[in-house]
Amino acid sequence: MIYELSLVAKPDANDQDLAALKKIVHDVVADHEGEILIEDDWGSIVFAQPTRDGVPHGRFIYFIFKANSENNKELIRRMKINETHMRHMFVLLGEESERETIVKAYKTPFSKTYKGSLT
């Protein structure tokens, strides 16, 4: 299965903290017979509404990856332990047979590396 994962880290997260979050995703996906297809650091984005704690923005990291069904449970478990992580969201994008189409269709205004960047 092909999934997308959006991670939101605390706004005060430094590069080492973000690297640790990325390493968690890479390690878990590799452990579950998968591979990262796209990794994109979107930087700091202001939320539409502050969190309950009054946090107005967060650092976003985006992944598209291929993995088996147990992968997401393990990622959630490890993210709950990590203090840098604020929120996450998984979305099932499709089957392995749709891989090329999914990767080619990736476009976001937040990316500094892929098509569609605002900057």
- 4-8, 62-66, 98-102: which has the minimum mean pLDDT? 98-102
Average pLDDT along the chain: 88
In the chain, % of residues over pLDDT 90: 44
Q: Find tokens 């452990």 and name the residue.
A: 31
User: Using 50, 70 and 90 to split pLDDT, how confident is the model at 82?
Assistant: confident
pLDDT in the model for residue 116: 61
Structure tokens at 46: 């202001």
On the question of pLDDT at 54 being above 70, the answer is yes
pLDDT in the model for residue 119: 44
On the question of pLDDT at 5 being above 80, the answer is yes
Segment 8-16 mean pLDDT: 91
On the question of pLDDT at 50 being above 60, the answer is yes
pTM summary value: 0.86
pLDDT in the model for residue 108: 81
